[in-house]
Amino acid sequence: MIMRFILMAILVGLLTACGSAELTPSSQLVRDAIALQLNLTQQQLSQQLYSSPPSFKITQLRIIQQEPLVIQQLPAYHIRGTYNLTMQLPQRQLAQQQNPFDVYVQRQKEGKTWRLARPQFTDKDTQAAWLTYLVE
Contacts with 136 (C-beta within 8 Å, 6 or more apart), sequence order: 32, 36
Least confident of 34-43, 72-81, 96-105: 34-43
pLDDT of 130 above 90: yes
Contacts with 96 (C-beta within 8 Å, 6 or more apart), sequence order: 84, 85, 86, 87
Cα 121 from Cα 38, distance rounded (Å): 19
Are 76 and 103 within 8 A, CB to CB? no
- Residue 118: per-residue pLDDT: 94
Cα 108 from Cα 113, distance rounded (Å): 6
Distances (CA, A) of 52 to 37, 88, 90, 122: 16, 12, 9, 29
Are 105 and 122 within 8 A, CB to CB? no
In this prediction, residues 50-78 reach a mean pLDDT of 91
Q: What are phi and psi of 111, to 5 degrees?
A: 80, 10
pLDDT tens digits, 7-30: 454 554 544 444 444 578 999 999
Instruction: Kindly list the domain boundaries of the chain, sorted by start residue.
Output: 25-134
